[in-house]
Amino acid sequence: MSIIQTIRDKGAKVSVVLIALALIGFILTDYFAGKGRGVTGGGPNSVGTVNGTKIPADEFQQYVDRVESNMQQQGYPAGGATTQQAIEQAWNQEVGRVLFTDEFDKLGMKIGKKELGDILYGPNAPQDLKQQFTDSATGQYNAILAKQQIDQMLKKGTPEQKEQFNTYIRDLEQQRKSEKLVAMLANTINYPKWMVEKQNADNSQMAKISFVREPYTSIPDSAVKITDKEIQDYINKNKDAFKQQESRSISYVKFSASPTAADSAEARNKLMALKAEFDTTENIEQFLAYQGAGNFYNGYISGKAIQIAAKDSIFRTPVGSTYGPYLDGSTYTLAKMIGVRQMPDTIKVRHILIATTQRDPQSGQTYTVRSDEDAKNLADSIKTAIGNGSNFDTVCVKLSEDPGSKDKGGIYENVTPGQMVAPFNDFGFLNPVGTKGVVKTDFGYHYMEVLSHKGSGAGYKIAYLPKEIITSQETDNNALNKANEFAGDSRDLKSFDATYEKKLKSQGLLKGIGSNIKPADSQIPGLGDSRTFVRAIYDAKKGEVLKTEKIGDDYVVAVVTEVFEEGTQSVATARMTAEPALRNKKKAEMLKQKIGKISTLEAAATTLAKPIETADSIRMSSQATSPALGYEPRVIGAAFNPANKGKVVPEALEGQNGVYVVRVENVSATAVTSGDVTEQRKSLYEQGKQRAANPQLILMALREAATIKDKRAEKY
């Protein structure tokens, strides 16, 4: 399935089918024409099948790459956890795409050329197209310009751009078809008049019963034995309730290799050794870069925006002095106060950028577009021209090379301290409104004007020198040696448990459990992310102790405790679910025999030595629940059986919580308060239509009926 999912605003109701990525990347850049990582492993070139349709491995990897790229643009960190999320997301997309496409094909759904034109250029065009081709003057979508640009790209664009755009089109078509399918299903909802009238009549009925009950808890569980054969017979009769996916379970012990107190002291001592030089250095930026702390922000930031636990102490530090070391998470840090100034909370500025460098959107590399001298000369010329009366907006549109602001007159509104690069930041925040000038940044030269200030408070320029507390080799070796020793003493599940009880439990080490681990999983609750560890679990047999594996800051020793193959649960696995139901069934038979033949309610009460109870105002619409009874659908159903009215029900009823002998005292009809049948039908139709319009429910139904073979674990 394509990675493009929802086309922003239109995609809320089909979000399970598609995921949005900007069309800009397909039309104007080669952003997504980058190289995929490629999947590992041999075998057939697919990661699975859906109803016999293969999902090609190479195409799937492209989807994964695009999803992961999109996630990282949204702020997800690069790494194994994000990759695994991308793999899972791409898999669900592909399964959904195949299932929905099968339905589209069965129904003969197609998107013609005219309809595709409406999708791209009509009033409900994709939001990313609208954003790209909105006229800045009118605020309206320029469909003509959009078509011209797309046609131009299709004529002169690279093969990669064309292929990516074709993929995008396929996904727009997929979305439109899904909207049609959802609408078609939603519009099939119907509530016949006779059914509403029957429900009203049923709901008007009210019953009163007297009853005697004997709870199942009156017979000890130990008195009822359930054999493996009985469990197996129960499974055979209820196979749908005992389906299981392939999974594994493990027991594990973690040996921490996190930094010790000695490691923490070592980091602090190293930082203290640098303090004197940090205090006296004249080139603070160079010093920090040399120490590996090159993210120094050489600008002023409002104290309101600084979120550090020790900030109050830092703010009280005199200019030129250093506070610390103080503990900040997993680092010790020194903070040097460079300067304090009064500054606004937010500003509005406008600028014209003359760039010296630009960034290649495909490689991410920057390259020079003009010399520093040429850029400064041009910026100075702009300053002179505007000073002599040239229109700022006209010059901005013609010369500014900042795509984020040139179409807005170069304006940035509600800028907060630290949002912009430091020279840009300080010019706007430290100069009065109306100040104009040329500012140099890493991007080039800016002709800037400060338009307005809002709010006020103290601003600080602070240099931070952190020293991470890292695990020493000695600490790491100690943890590894302990883990290996435990693994060496644990040959199987029995010795694993015995060694833990004998040697580790008294040390405060805990034995964890990881259950329901699927073949394509990466995350294991309590341990973290490790795809290699999951592979090792699936390479092992039940009872096998795995080799020591490092996951995060821990060395882990694990044993495979359960192996579940896809199919139907075994007797041992199903017993926990099946045994209570079968036990109650046997208890019900025992209690029925104790009651014997039912003559009167009073006789049953004498036999069971239980009082006669009453349940009044029972209604069918109460969802088989009564305050006096609890959830007992069989009892409430019997109360409304016309054959039982005014009589004792001739047999004891097996309920959810016990056995009941029931006498139906009376059933009467009350006034129907549900209102007009026409309005009821309309309300039920709207409710049903809303439920049916949920693609998630449609997809769940399709997946339930599908044959899906997941082979991702062989490739990743």
Query: Which pLDDT value is given to residue 30?
Result: 32
The two three-digit tokens of residue 622, written as one number: 């109460």
Beta bridge partners of 445: 354, 440
Residues 23 and 162 in one domain: yes
Residue that finishes a domain, picked among 565, 599, 618: 565
pLDDT score of 200: 87
Backbone angles phi, psi at 130, to 5 degrees: -60, -40
Domain assignment present for residue 191? The answer is no
- All residues at 6 or more sequence positions from 135 whose CB lies less than 8 Å from its CB, including other chains: 141, 142
Give yes or no: residues 276 and 228 share one domain: no
- The pLDDT, as a whole number, for residue 579 is 96
Q: CB within 8 A of 265, min separation 6: which ones?
A: none
Looking at the domain assignment, is residue 615 inside a domain? yes
- The structure tokens listed for 116 are 């595709």
Same domain, 15 and 159: yes
Under 8 Å between Cβ of 677 and 620: no
State the CATH number of the domain containing residue 424: 3.10.50.40
CB 311 within 8 A of CB 426: no
Structure token pair of residue 480: 């590894």
Residue 663 within a domain: yes
Residue 705 lies in a domain: no
Domain end point (choices 565, 589, 613): 565
At a CB cut-off of 8 Å and minimum separation 6, what does 253 contact? Answer: 483, 486, 500, 504, 509, 510, 511, 512, 556, 557, 558
Asked if 289 and 163 sit in the same domain, the reply is no
Place of tokens 């039982």: 644
Domain containing 629: what range?
Answer: 201-244+572-669
Alpha helix segments (H runs only) across 44-158: 57-73, 80-107, 113-121, 127-132, 143-156
Do both 119 and 232 map to the same domain? no
Could you tell me if residue 13 is inside a domain?
A: yes
- The torsion defined by the Cα of 477, 482, 483 and 487, in degrees rounded to 10, comes to 130
DSSP lists the bridge partners of residue 5 as 19
72 and 179: one domain? yes
Check residue 171 and give its pLDDT.
86
Q: Domain for residue 676, yes or no?
A: no
Give yes or no: residues 515 and 393 share one domain: no
Residue 685's Cβ-count burial label (10 Å; 0-12, 13-18, 19+) is middle
Query: Do 532 and 417 belong to one domain?
Result: no
Q: Are residues 161 and 91 in the same domain?
A: yes
Q: What is the 3-state secondary structure (H, E, C) of 452-506?
A: EEECCEEEEEEEEEEEECCCCHHHHHHHHHHHHHHHHHCCCHHHHHHHHHHHHHH
350 membership: H or E segment, kind and range: strand 346-355
Whether residue 327 sits in one domain with residue 209: no
pLDDT at 168: 87
Both 35 and 158 in a single domain?
Answer: yes
Residue 715 lies in a domain: no
Given the structure tokens 């949005």, which residue do they identify? Answer: 20
**In the numeric block, which tokens belong to residue 150?**
């797309």
* Cα dihedral across residues 296, 300, 303, 305: positive or negative: negative
Which residue, of 342, 362, 381, is where some domain finishes? 342
* Regions of the chain short of the pLDDT cut 70: 1-44, 136-137, 360-364, 672-675
35 secondary structure, DSSP code: P
- Helix (H) / strand (E) element for 578: namely helix 571-595
Note the pLDDT of residue 91: 93
pLDDT in tens, 67-110: 888 888 788 888 778 888 899 999 998 999 999 999 999 999 99
Residue 397 DSSP SS3: helix
Look at the alpha carbons of 96, 101, 102, 107 in this order and tell me if their dihedral is positive or negative: positive
User: Quick check: is 194 in a domain?
Assistant: no
Quote the pLDDT of residue 364: 61
Domain count, the chain: 5
Judge if 333 and 357 occupy the same domain.
no
pLDDT at res. 139: 72
